[in-house]
């Protein structure tokens, strides 16, 4: 019910929204919770485990109960806290975790069996039989217990990532935060003020008190107006600082358009910020804790500070007849605010025996609430006093068990809060986060005047740390009352007393955990699930610890402490992963012939970040094999072209370039003649093969290295490492030029004929023999030509600056077609190289050394190189290692399978009998047979031997013959021809 | 986490590639023997406290950097160009 004359809402702007299909009105500035309470709706949710009827417990982002689902369809968003979500016109809100509806939830039957569902229930009941857990128990439990559901549709909302930098990050904008921000800003520091709420001001928006001689919220307005006008200040409301990390890095979530959906359809929903702050001031305030008395979870029972927030900030009385129960002076403040606003206060129940006079309402001292009634909302409370029991009718109960400083962020780097006996709560450990100063209620300073002064001092500390001069600022006049509290952790009586409202953990569960010897707080948490819901126990951890301490006969500090991990408030996965969805998941690298290739209908496959053509289907071809076989025959008999720009190209220059390459390759490059290319093998320092490729010497001090497509990044890093960390005196420089050059393989008997139609000056076998390289001109554009072959054919690779790549590809393709040739894709390229026994990363997969691939003689004896010492270890050159061989089926039409393993004929296919495995397979149209490369124990000494290939996964078994890995033209005559 | 590249200044951790212990700078001579090579390649201390490791400013200037940091407090104590460190040990 609205209270006339109260609240900071805009009563001129009425907003209509729906809850469970029914339309309600609120005002601009309302949250869902405040608007529903204004409409006398108290029942807003069902609890997680027992499906208990629930209303809001709080008025902020720490809310455990009032979780709701917004929107429908793809935008459906579950588990939104009604106490933080602002309403806007047309907002569609639904309750969750109930069926068929909120009032009659069938699953509330769980509540009747609560004796069986207590701590450890799942562990004890659903242990056996083990196999039932995954298929039967877990799905049923998951359906019965739970929160809101996702739509299952593709998320249409857009989120963003952003970075910010500042001298001083102020977290929270209550009196302490505002004073800190004002002091730092006036001193000229770069300031970011982050506020979780939709409005700056913190508790000053919810209390009736003056600051600087004016109502608190007006002082807030003045400070914000001053800060807004300053260039060195960034004000970020609706921004939760969710994590504190090393070296002053903070994670933050800014809610940009969730409060005005539809109006700004193109704005991101949320922005995930990484804020780098030289210093920070944590002024996150404190959270009031509930009291664990029997049946304390009914709709209408909420924290006293929440009642004051609804009354003073939103102009809502959460009930017509409100009772107040607490152990500290804030209970009195609540009763006084209510009475002053004309709301009937049924009684003020103070657990302390000697509470002084308060206001014009009945006061029961030394009293406790021991029971409540009202199925879907509070109707009556039972109070135990020194004089006996009495029942009081009330539809709202404001409870205050004291305040917990918001220490959460100070725990994110393993800082354990320390117990304060006077506050009866934990306060941050000093220096828990380097560069962070804690101020105000977060530090346990509970009065407004104290908070203002504490914010000012914290700013001074931060400014000193960044060597800034402090402007002359004084804190304004404000309330400075002492905070008086007496312990009240639980109230004995019949019925369950809730601690963790979100996970349905009661005092009984904690006591049971202690009785079953889960006495460490960490064990108790996991056994009961206390504090493990999305609110991370913000409202309940301290209370649960106190109950555990009592049950185990220890003091609270001896029992343990609370800790919190990021994020401070739940963060949507979509926000964390902003931008990394669909095509944004990984960058895409395109070859210059990409568009023409896609237009030709070639299916593209991913190779790292690159996209490469699989094959080029022609009319009438029904399978990839038909296209691939044709392309292989085309290269073997005529000519084919394919884009090889994805191979890594590294330009190496300098007087020591040759010596450097000698050190990173197993073989010699300083002796390579200018104008020649050589195949090189590169090892890791542990002796295993890192990468391979050809390197061309273009000049005395100039080489161009090629790497495999997959190995390009690793090799570049490796070269930098070797140069900077091992041989920094070598005068050599290198840079990746992969993107700068488009490169095409031209392969087949007619390759030179084709090239001579493109090149400005013709070449022949004498001017350009096998393994020659050099500059060429094509249409007046200077490029490079390398006579190298990955197919075993007479072949070249021609390179041109990337901007001419597409034009050159088009010209090559046109001439190729005139010679009965054309484009070939990765499938054909793979067949061509397997037929010729060339290796790729399928073979050099990280556990293979030079000896294994028969290249041990490539490790030059004349010099040291990376990996040489390790490669010589006895185990690295053992005859029975898995070594490279070719394999063909005894019956050519029988299939070979990549990944299949080998066993001797007559031996059982078991791990102990394993003889090796297949790494590459193709159907060879040239040999009219399946062919494979693989590794077999002592392989090179077993040529001609029959061996069983068994693919246990796909149920294929083929008898094979071990053979030389080069299946055709072992002398290389075609290549040289 | 933030690291200071001696060439580029203070940068977010995401710009750096991590390799491991800075022992990688001390490559033994080819004939140093099996134990020396085993130490160099495989054996690592796992200190609770100050450690030196190698990072590369991969998304920046490509410099390899020796980072001295505390594994307990996460403090970064110093950073230096690996090439300078290597030259100084000669
Ligand atoms: Zn750098």
pLDDT bin (cut points 50, 70, 90) of residue A128 is low
A171 and A228 co-located in one domain? yes
Q: What residues of chain B lie within 8 A of the CB of A249, using their CB?
A: 1-2, 12
A190 and A306 co-located in one domain? no
- Is A390 contained in some domain? no
Residue A951: strand pairing partners: A956
| Residue A113: predicted pLDDT | 73
CATH number at residue A677: 3.30.70.1400
| Residue A582: predicted pLDDT | 85
The last residue of a domain, from among A97, A123, A154: A154
Q: What is the mean pLDDT of residues A470-487?
A: 94
A274 and A414 co-located in one domain? yes
Q: Which two tokens stand for residue A375?
A: 């199925």
Q: What percent of chain A has pLDDT over 90?
A: 88
Q: Alpha carbon of A235 to those of A188, A228, A474, A684, A815: distances in Å? A: 15, 7, 22, 52, 64
In chain B, which residue's Cα lies nearest the Cα of A871? Answer: B30
| Residue A261: predicted pLDDT | 67
A279 and A166 co-located in one domain? yes
Domains and CATH numbers, chain B: 2-89 (3.30.2270.10)
Chain A interface disruption, residue of B41, B66, B69, B80, most A CBs within 10 A: B41
Q: What distance in Å separates residue B28's CA from the closest CA in chain A?
A: 10
CA atoms of A574 and A151, how far apart (whole Å): 14
pLDDT greater than 80 at residue A126: no
Residue from A191, A201, A257, A267 nearest A227 by CA? A191
A908 and A957 co-located in one domain? yes
The H or E element that residue A26 is part of is strand A22-28
- Non-local (6+) Cβ contacts of B76 within 8 A are A247, B2, B3, B4, B67, B68, B69
3-state percent breakdown (helix, strand, coil) of chain A, nearest 5: 25, 30, 45
Residue written as token pair 């009763």: A335
Q: What distance in Å separates residue A869's CA from the closest CA in chain B?
A: 6
A333 and A272 co-located in one domain? no
Residue written as token pair 């944004």: A584
Interface contact flag, B2 A864, Cβ < 8 Å: no
Q: Alpha carbon of A308 to those of A210, A316, A324: distances in Å? A: 16, 9, 11
| Residue B42: predicted pLDDT | 96
pLDDT bin (cut points 50, 70, 90) of residue A122 is low
Q: What range defines the domain where residue A312 resides?
A: 290-374+396-401
The greatest distance separating any two alpha carbons of chain A, rounded to the nearest whole angstrom, comes to 117
DSSP code for A410: G
CATH number at residue A641: 3.30.1360.120
Beta strands in A779-817 (DSSP E): 781-786, 795-801
Beta strands in A256-320 (DSSP E): 270-282, 286-288, 301-303
The last residue of a domain, from among A558, A573, A588: A573
- Non-local (6+) Cβ contacts of A817 within 8 A are none
A799 and A747 co-located in one domain? yes
Across A795-822, b (16+ Cβ under 10 Å) vs e yields: bbbbbbbbebbbebbebbbebbeebebb
| Residue A139: predicted pLDDT | 67
A180 and A119 co-located in one domain? no
Q: What residues of chain A lie within 8 A of the CB of B58, using their CB?
A: 717
- Is A729 contained in some domain? yes
Q: Which two tokens stand for residue A209?
A: 């008190």
CATH number at residue A44: 3.10.20.440
In chain B, which residue's Cα lies nearest the Cα of A274? Answer: B12
- Total number of domains constituting chain A: 7
- Is A324 contained in some domain? yes
A355 and A435 co-located in one domain? no
A186 and A205 co-located in one domain? yes
CA atoms of A111 and A117, how far apart (whole Å): 9
Q: What is the reported pTM?
A: 0.92
In this structure, of A31-40, A69-78, A114-123, A207-216, the range with the lowest mean pLDDT score is A114-123
- Is A839 contained in some domain? no
Q: What is the mean pLDDT of residues A880-903?
A: 97
- CA–centroid distance, B25 to ligand 1, in Å, is 19
Average pLDDT, chain A: 94
- CA–centroid distance, A722 to ligand 1, in Å, is 17
pLDDT bin (cut points 50, 70, 90) of residue A107 is confident
Are A708 and A644 contacting, i.e. CB atoms less than 8 angstroms apart? no
Residue from A291, A285, A320 nearest A303 by CA? A291
Residue A587 CA from chain centroid, whole number = 17
Residue A240: strand pairing partners: A253
A635 and A694 co-located in one domain? no
| Residue A315: predicted pLDDT | 98
- Is A492 contained in some domain? no
pLDDT greater than 80 at residue A434: yes
CA atoms of A958 and A894, how far apart (whole Å): 7
- Is A473 contained in some domain? no
A384 Rama sector, left if φ>0, alpha if ψ -120 to 50, beta otherwise: beta
Give one DSSP letter per residue of A171-228, joined into a string.
Answer: E--SHHHHHHHHHHHHTT--EEEE-SSSSTTGGGGTS--EETTEEHHHHHHHHHHHHH
| Residue A453: predicted pLDDT | 98
- Is A488 contained in some domain? no
- Is A778 contained in some domain? yes
A532 and A602 co-located in one domain? no
The last residue of a domain, from among A805, A833, A861: A833
In this structure, of A90-99, A335-344, A751-760, the range with the lowest mean pLDDT score is A90-99
Beta strands in A749-904 (DSSP E): 773-778, 781-786, 795-801, 822-823, 882-889, 901-904
Long-range contacts of A111-117 (CB under 8 A, 24+ apart): A111/A50, A111/A51, A111/A52, A114/A50, A114/A496, A117/A49, A117/A50
Q: What is the mean pLDDT of residues A757-784?
A: 97
């Amino acid at each position: 019910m609205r209270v006339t004359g109260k609240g900071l809402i805009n009563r001129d702007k009425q907003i209509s929204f729906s809850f469970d299909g029914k339309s309600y009105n609120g005002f601009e500035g309302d949250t869902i919770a405040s608007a529903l309470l204004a409409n006398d709706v108290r029942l807003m949710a069902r609890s997680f485990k027992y499906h208990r009827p629930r209303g809001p417990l709080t008025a902020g982002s720490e809310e455990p109960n009032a979780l709701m689902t917004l929107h429908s369809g793809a935008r459906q968003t579950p588990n939104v806290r009604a106490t933080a979500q602002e309403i806007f016109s047309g907002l569609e809100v639904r309750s969750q975790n109930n069926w068929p509806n909120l009032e009659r939830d069938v699953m509330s039957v769980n509540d009747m069996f609560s004796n069986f569902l207590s701590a450890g229930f799942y562990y004890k009941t659903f242990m056996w039989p083990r196999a039932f857990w995954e298929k039967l128990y877990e799905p049923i439990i998951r359906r019965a217990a739970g929160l809101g559901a996702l739509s299952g549709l593709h998320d249409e909302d857009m989120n963003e990532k952003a970075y910010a930098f500042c001298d001083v990050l102020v977290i929270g904008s209550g009196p302490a935060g505002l004073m800190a921000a004002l002091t730092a800003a006036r001193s000229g520091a770069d300031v970011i003020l982050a506020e979780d709420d939709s409005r700056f001001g913190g508790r000053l928006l919810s209390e009736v008190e003056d600051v600087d001689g004016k109502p608190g919220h007006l002082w807030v307005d003045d400070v914000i107006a001053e800060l807004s006008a300053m260039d060195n200040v960034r004000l970020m409301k609706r921004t939760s600082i969710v994590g504190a990390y090393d070296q002053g890095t903070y994670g933050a979530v800014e809610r940009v358009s969730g409060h005005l959906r539809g109006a700004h359809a193109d704005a991101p929903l949320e922005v995930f910020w990484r804020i780098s702050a030289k210093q920070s001031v944590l002024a996150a305030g404190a959270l009031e804790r509930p009291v664990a008395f029997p049946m304390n979870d009914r709709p209408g029972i909420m924290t006293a500070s929440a009642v004051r927030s609804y009354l003073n900030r939103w102009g809502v009385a959460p009930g017509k007849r409100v009772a107040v129960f607490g152990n500290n002076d804030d209970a009195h403040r609540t009763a006084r605010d209510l009475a002053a606003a004309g709301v009937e206060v049924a009684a003020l129940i103070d657990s302390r025996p000697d509470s002084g006079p308060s206001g014009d309402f009945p006061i029961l001292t030394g009293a406790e609430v021991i029971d409540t009634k009202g199925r879907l909302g509070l109707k009556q409370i039972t109070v135990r006093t020194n004089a006996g029991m009495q029942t009081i009718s009330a539809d709202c109960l404001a409870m205050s068990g004291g305040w917990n400083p918001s220490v959460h962020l100070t725990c994110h780097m393993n800082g354990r809060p320390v117990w304060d006996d006077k506050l009866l709560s934990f306060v941050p450990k000093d220096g828990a986060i380097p560069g962070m100063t804690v101020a105000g209620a977060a530090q346990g300073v509970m009065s407004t005047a104290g908070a203002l002064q504490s914010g000012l001092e914290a700013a001074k500390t931060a400014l000193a740390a960044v060597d800034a001069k402090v402007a002359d600022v004084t804190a304004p006049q404000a309330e400075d009352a002492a905070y008086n509290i007496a312990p009240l952790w639980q109230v004995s009586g019949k019925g369950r007393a809730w601690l963790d409202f979100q996970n349905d953990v009661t005092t009984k569960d904690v006591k049971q955990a202690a009785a079953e010897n889960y006495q460490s707080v960490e064990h108790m948490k996991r056994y009961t699930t206390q504090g493990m819901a999305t609110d991370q126990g913000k409202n309940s951890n301290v209370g649960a610890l106190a109950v555990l301490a009592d049950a185990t006969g220890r003091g609270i500090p001896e029992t343990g402490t609370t800790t919190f991990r990021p994020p401070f408030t739940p963060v949507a996965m979509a926000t964390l992963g902003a931008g990394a969805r669909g095509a944004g998941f990984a960058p895409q690298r395109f070859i210059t012939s990409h568009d023409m290739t896609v237009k030709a209908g070639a299916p593209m496959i991913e190779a790292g970040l690159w996209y490469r053509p699989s094959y080029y289907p022609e009319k009438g071809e029904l399978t990839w094999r038909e296209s691939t076989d044709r392309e292989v025959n085309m290269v073997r008999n005529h000519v084919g072209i394919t884009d090889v720009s994805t191979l890594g190209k590294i330009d190496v220059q300098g007087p020591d370039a040759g010596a450097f390459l000698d050190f990173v390759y197993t073989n010699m490059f300083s002796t390579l003649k200018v104008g020649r290319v050589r195949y090189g093998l590169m090892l890791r320092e542990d002796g295993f093969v890192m990468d391979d490729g050809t390197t061309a010497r273009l000049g005395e001090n100039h080489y161009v290295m090629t790497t495999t497509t997959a190995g390009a990044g690793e090799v570049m890093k490796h070269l930098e490492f070797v140069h900077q960390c091992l041989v920094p005196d070598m005068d050599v420089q290198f840079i990746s030029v992969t993107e700068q050059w488009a490169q095409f393989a031209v392969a087949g008997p007619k390759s030179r004929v084709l090239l001579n139609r493109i090149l400005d000056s013709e070449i022949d076998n004498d001017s350009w023999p096998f393994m020659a390289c050099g500059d060429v001109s094509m249409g007046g554009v200077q490029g490079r030509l390398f006579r190298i072959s990955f197919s075993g054919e007479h072949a070249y690779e021609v390179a041109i600056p990337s901007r001419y790549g597409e034009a050159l590809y088009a010209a090559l393709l046109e001439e190729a077609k005139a010679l009965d040739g054309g484009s070939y894709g990765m499938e054909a390229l793979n067949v061509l190289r397997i037929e010729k026994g060339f290796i790729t990363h399928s073979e050099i997969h990280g556990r293979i050394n030079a000896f294994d691939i028969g290249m041990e003689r490539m490790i030059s004896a004349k010099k040291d190189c990376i990996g040489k010492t390790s490669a010589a270890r006895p185990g690295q050159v053992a005859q029975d290692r898995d070594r490279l061989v070719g394999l063909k089926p005894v019956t050519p039409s029988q299939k070979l399978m990549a990944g299949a393993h080998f066993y001797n004929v007559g031996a059982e296919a078991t791990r102990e009998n394993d003889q090796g495995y297949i790494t590459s397979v193709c159907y060879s149209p040239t040999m009219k047979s399946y062919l494979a490369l693989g590794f077999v124990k002592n392989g090179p000494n077993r040529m001609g031997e029959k061996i069983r290939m068994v693919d246990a996964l796909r149920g294929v078994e083929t008898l094979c013959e071990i053979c030389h890995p080069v299946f055709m033209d072992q002398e290389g005559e075609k290549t040289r021809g | 986490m933030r690291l200071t590249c001696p060439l580029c200044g203070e940068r977010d951790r995401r710009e750096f590639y991590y390799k491991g212990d800075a022992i990688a700078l001390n490559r033994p001579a080819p004939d140093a023997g099996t134990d020396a090579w085993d130490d160099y390649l495989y054996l690592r201390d796992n200190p609770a406290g100050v450690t030196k490791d190698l990072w590369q400013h991969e998304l920046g200037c490509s410099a390899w950097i020796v980072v001295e940091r505390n594994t307990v407090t996460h403090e970064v104590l110093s950073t230096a160009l690996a090439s300078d460190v290597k030259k100084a040990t000669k």
